[in-house]
């Protein structure tokens, strides 16, 4: 029955323009958003950036982003742990970001293409992915969790990369994407299409240099820039406040013409000198280490404008001071057009954002440690909660796995992960308390404060 349904919707998707439902509402105070998937979800990169955006754009909303990814998971595994690992954290929203593990990329390796029944095996794996995606969605909806569908990221089958190319995996993922579009229509769920955006970005990157990729050298796992593109794509699908603030003042009229997402008070304006008190409702988004947010898409102009526009100043250059600290010198023409303060890391609000980001680094590090415990337990102990008293049995299990994988490429990874597990498991409760305390700290650091701004002629 499902094969007929699957064949029907795929044929329809090739003939029809798929209607994808709805812009995603912005997350609200006390929302809990879980991200469900495998290694790309477990890494957390894309929703870490979304979390950072929300903490700076909506500092009055306490929103929790939950890591519900387990590296290596198939959709069968997600169905098996949906109660013990997902529903147990009481999400209000779930972002379903299934990847290609179900498709078994090894089926697409060049040396297997003459294997008997290979095409049938590929088709069966696609059908299983789609069937289980539908089942996961239904279970989430039955539990009254609001669902957001997110397409898989791409498999890089076009780049000149060091890893062997399982050519055809990305084409299979495209079929999964088309299925999700139909699922979006079937259940009237919003969908974030990362696959299409990343596919086009990768085409542009490799047109300049075929040895580069928005994905990693393994063709599967997403780069830091790729995660940011995912986050930007997600945010562009949400009904969010797109600007930090927008201030527009006419000095000749001594009046505030515009004060969006901020409060302006005690304005004193002349053609050579302007001063006022400024309280924004948001902080600028701080650029994460080693990342240019605008390298592929105009993130700053679309989602990170903190505009200060002063009309009517006399010709010349002007010093900008915030709380008596020198910020920069701008011409009357620049100020008349409007300057974007979020680009200036010398402002106190940018420095405050950086402190928020620094705290997030610690928060994400602790999240990774905690999630790695879950990874080991679900992948190697079938989800059983391992008690500290059972550590001798745990060590024996680890030794057995390592012995079986002595010549495997996974050996060093398993060795490292198992060592971390043994070190961290005994401190799990302390790490959970630390994680909660870091969350509270972030939501104390991120509160905007009132500044005194002065612009005077040099």
Instruction: Walk me through the domains of the chain, giving residue ranges and CATH numbers.
Output: 2-239 (3.40.50.1110), 243-349+447-457 (2.60.40), 353-445 (no CATH)
pLDDT tier for residue 390 given thresholds of 50, 70 and 90: confident
pLDDT for 169: 98
Mean pLDDT of all residues in 197-205? 97
Q: Which residue has the higher pLDDT, 22 or 265?
A: 265
- pLDDT over 60 at 188, yes or no: yes
Task: Provide the mean pLDDT of the chain.
Answer: 93
> pLDDT tens digits for 308-360?
999 999 999 999 999 989 999 999 999 999 999 999 999 999 999 999 999 99
pLDDT for 382: 77
pLDDT for 387: 60
Q: Is 447 exposed, middle or buried (0-12, 13-18, 19+ CB in 10 A)?
A: exposed
pLDDT tier for residue 13 given thresholds of 50, 70 and 90: very low
> Of all residues in the chain, what percent carry a pLDDT higher than 70?
94
pLDDT for 381: 86
- pLDDT over 50 at 11, yes or no: no
Mean pLDDT of all residues in 214-220? 94
> pLDDT tens digits for 247-261?
999 999 999 999 999
Mean pLDDT of all residues in 32-40? 97
pLDDT tier for residue 385 given thresholds of 50, 70 and 90: low
pLDDT for 183: 96
């Amino acid at each position: 029955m499902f094969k007929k349904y699957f064949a029907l919707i795929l044929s329809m998707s090739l003939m029809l323009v798929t209607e994808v439902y709805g812009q995603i509402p912005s997350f609200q105070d006390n929302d809990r958003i879980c991200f469900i998937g495998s290694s790309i979800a477990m890494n957390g990169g894309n929703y870490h950036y979304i979390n950072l955006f929300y903490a700076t754009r909506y500092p009055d909303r306490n929103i929790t982003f939950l890591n519900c990814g387990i590296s290596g998971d198939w959709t069968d595994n997600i169905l098996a742990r949906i109660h013990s690992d997902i529903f147990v954290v009481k999400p209000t929203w779930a972002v379903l970001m299934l990847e290609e593990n179900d498709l078994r990329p090894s089926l697409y390796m060049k040396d297997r293409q003459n294997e008997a029944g290979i095409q049938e095996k590929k088709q069966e794996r696609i059908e299983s992915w789609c069937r289980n995606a539908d089942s996961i969605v239904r279970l989430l909806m039955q539990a009254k969790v609001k669902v957001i569908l997110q397409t898989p990221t791409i498999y890089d089958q076009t780049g000149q990369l060091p890893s062997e190319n399982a050519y055809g995996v990305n084409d299979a993922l495209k079929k999964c994407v088309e299925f999700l579009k139909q699922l979006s229509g079937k259940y009237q769920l919003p969908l974030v299409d990362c696959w299409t955006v990343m596919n086009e970005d990768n085409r542009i990157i490799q047109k300049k240099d075929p040895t580069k990729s928005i994905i990693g050298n393994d063709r599967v796992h997403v780069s830091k820039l790729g995660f940011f593109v995912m986050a930007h794509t997600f945010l562009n699908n949400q009904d969010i406040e797109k600007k930090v603030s927008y201030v527009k003042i006419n000095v000749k009229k001594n009046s505030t013409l515009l004060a969006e997402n901020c409060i302006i008070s005690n304005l004193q304006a002349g053609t050579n000198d302007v001063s006022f008190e400024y309280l924004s409702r948001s902080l600028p988004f701080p650029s994460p280490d080693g990342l240019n947010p605008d390298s592929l898409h105009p993130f700053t102009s679309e989602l990170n404008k903190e505009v200060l526009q002063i009309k009517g100043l006399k010709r010349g250059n002007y010093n900008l001071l915030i709380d008596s600290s020198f910020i920069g010198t701008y011409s009357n023409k620049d100020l008349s057009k409007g300057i974007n303060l979020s680009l200036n890391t010398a402002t106190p609000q940018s420095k405050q954002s950086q402190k928020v980001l620094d705290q997030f680094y610690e928060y994400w590090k602790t999240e990774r440690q905690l999630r790695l415990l879950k990874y080991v337990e679900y992948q190697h102990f079938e989800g059983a909660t391992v008690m500290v008293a059972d550590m001798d049995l745990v060590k024996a299990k680890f030794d057995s796995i390592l012995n079986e994988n002595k010549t495997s490429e996974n050996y060093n990874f398993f060795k490292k992960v198992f060592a971390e597990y043994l070190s961290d498991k005994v401190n799990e409760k302390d790490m959970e308390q630390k994680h909660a305390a870091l969350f509270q700290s972030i939501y104390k650091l991120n509160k905007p404060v009132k500044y005194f701004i002065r612009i005077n002629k040099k």
